Amino acid sequence: MDRHASRDSAGRFAAYLDGLAGVIGHAARVGPMRDYCTGLLLPCERKSVEPIAAATAPARVGAQHQALLHFVAEGVWSDEIVLAKVREMVLPAIEQHGAIRAWIIDDTSFPKHGSHSVGVTHQYCGELGKQANCQVAVSLSVANRHASLPVAYRLYLPKSWAEDKKRRRKAGVPDEIAFQTKPKIALDQIAWACAAGISRGVVLMDSAYGTDASLRRGIRDLDLDYAAAVYARTLVESRAGKMTAEALAVGFPKRAWQTITWREGVAEPLRSRFARVRVRARGEGCMPDEPEQWLLIEWPNGEKAPTKYWLSTLPASIALDRLVDITMMRWRIERDYQDLKQEVGLGHFEGRGWRGFHHHATMCIAAYGFLISERGAIPPSQERCKIMLPEPAVPPGWQPTGAAPAA
């Protein structure tokens, strides 16, 4: 990107921050908001409050640290209102490349030491691939083939935290937050998105969510389709009788399996073998009147058994390649979370409170939203943050003005 294009991008970022300033509330919050969001896009190795303060106000790090810490950890501003503004500004840029096709439910984890950070407990940590001390947040993202954007984000509060009044009070957990399973949080987010009028898509989810029959039923009740990963042992009923998904799949004749290419990979096209059959889900949590739906199975060449299974309410008339294409869109969320963590420091918040955890995430989503809106102007082989906002390009007007800390 040349110097002129970099100036254009910096100008668009200034306008983007103006949009956020219009919903942040008290005028004293505007400066810290601009600096915090800017710091998340600067090439700092870590995006916690202290490094951001040093990057955005090197001549007065102490005062800047206090202002930013107050803004993110204690500021009384609405995550929901700011995220709504991000949607308003970013979704049109995404939809220029096609309509929203998917709503992706997922969670992400943050390994932690100690027991004081809100919601931390010994639980499955996806980042480490094992049980560990961590926090977990559940999110809903909207996506098309070009990009995805988180539209809802909430910390999972384990029962040990939800029932501990002393720890709740110390971490500032709102009174209305009760214990909910991750699938229940996800269903609440989906219902909220429907009520908010967000462009609808097929709900995609991994097996941690897809195996929850009540979540699948709740999605159907909202008149949404889904493609939900399930386990090999999931019980289904077809013309062949009632059995596990794996037992049904291994009995398919060779002609049932088709090689499908669903998108271009980094080195070569992504393709595998798939088969499908109409089934009704059975087993724990399922109702007697479960609807007929697709069971989609992947069995890659060279594997001794099928590796993945999905239940999907997409139409009976849908072509197999189309069913695979939509189902496999879920995997883009993995890359998006990688970018959120590596490029804008989603996991770098070092505070312990509920408000700060969510405020930091909201600012990260806002910064990431700007990256998405700029994606078409950035060479894919280069680092987006460093190109768009090299340190010398930060306009002087973004530096702190000495205003009192935001409320």
Give the list of residues 6+ apart from residue 358 with CB closer than 8 angstroms, or none: 79, 153, 154, 155
Q: Do 54 and 61 touch, CB atoms closer than 8 A?
A: yes
- Looking at residue 115, its pLDDT comes to 87
Question: How many alpha carbons fall within 13 Å on the CB side of residue 356?
Answer: 22
Q: Do 105 and 329 touch, CB atoms closer than 8 A?
A: no
- Looking at residue 89, its pLDDT comes to 97
Q: Which helix (H) or strand (E) holds 358?
A: helix 354-374
Output the CA torsion 23→29→32→35 (10° steps). 30
Give the list of residues 6+ apart from residue 74 with CB closer than 8 angstroms, or none: 355, 356
- Length of the chain as a residue count: 407
Q: Is the dihedral of CA 43, 23, 145, 325 positive or negative?
A: positive
- Looking at residue 248, its pLDDT comes to 98
What DSSP assignment string belongs to 169-203? HHHT--TT-----HHHHHHHHHHHHHHTTPPP-EE
Give the list of residues 6+ apart from residue 53 with CB closer than 8 angstroms, or none: 39, 61, 64, 65, 68
Neighbour count for residue 151 (Cβ, 10 Å) = 22
- Looking at residue 335, its pLDDT comes to 83
What is the value of pTM for the model shown? Answer: 0.90
Using only the alpha carbons of the chain, give its radius of gyration. Answer: 23
pLDDT in tens, the chain (407 residues): 455 556 788 899 999 999 999 999 999 999 999 999 999 999 888 999 999 999 999 999 999 999 999 999 999 999 999 999 999 999 999 999 999 999 999 999 999 988 899 999 999 998 899 999 999 999 999 999 889 999 999 999 999 999 999 999 999 999 999 999 999 999 999 999 999 999 999 999 999 999 999 999 999 999 999 999 999 999 999 999 999 999 999 999 999 999 999 877 666 788 999 999 999 999 999 999 999 999 999 999 999 999 999 999 999 999 999 999 999 999 888 888 999 999 999 999 999 999 999 999 999 999 999 999 997 554 443 444 444 444 433 444 434 333 333 44
- Looking at residue 344, its pLDDT comes to 95
